[in-house]
Amino acid sequence: MSVDVQTVKRVARLARIAVSEDDAQRMTGELNAILGFVEQLNEVNVLGVEPMTSVTPMAMKKRQDVVTDGNKAADIVANAPATEEGFFLVPKVVE
């Protein structure tokens, strides 16, 4: 796969990037070099290789998915200017 100047200009226009003729020529070579490297990666045999999320094997720490109220209602409303029965009291806004 290779990229020509017209393709570079079209992609730049779609991305709404202003590209001069000289920049388009330079980018054509750079993009072709990148695509050449990607084609080399396609030649690597990866059959039997497990996908990785990290370079070191790790097990995710998991906790039980349990719904609780947090047992912190008193701590949460402790700094409120006004509370009633564990709820925040706010000024009436709508009549």
Domain count, the chain: 1
Report yes or no on 77 lying in a domain. Answer: no
Query: Which CATH number belongs to the domain containing residue 33 in this structure?
Result: 1.10.20
Quick check: is 56 in a domain?
no
14 Cα distance to chain centroid:
22
pLDDT of residue 64: 87
Check pLDDT > 80 for residue 69: no
pLDDT in tens, 3-62: 999 999 999 999 999 999 999 999 999 999 999 999 998 899 989 988 887 888 878 888
How many CB atoms are located within 10 Å of the residue 8 CB? Answer: 21
Q: What pLDDT is stored for residue 21 in this prediction?
A: 93
Q: Does 53 fall in a domain?
A: no
Residue 64 lies in a domain: no
- Whole-angstrom distance, CA of residue 89 vs CA of residue 95: 16
32, 3 contact by CB (below 8 A): yes
Cα–Cα distances in Å, from 72 out to 40, 87, 88? 57, 12, 14
| Residue 10 belongs to a domain | yes
Q: Does residue 37 form part of some domain?
A: yes
Domain span including residue 37: 5-42
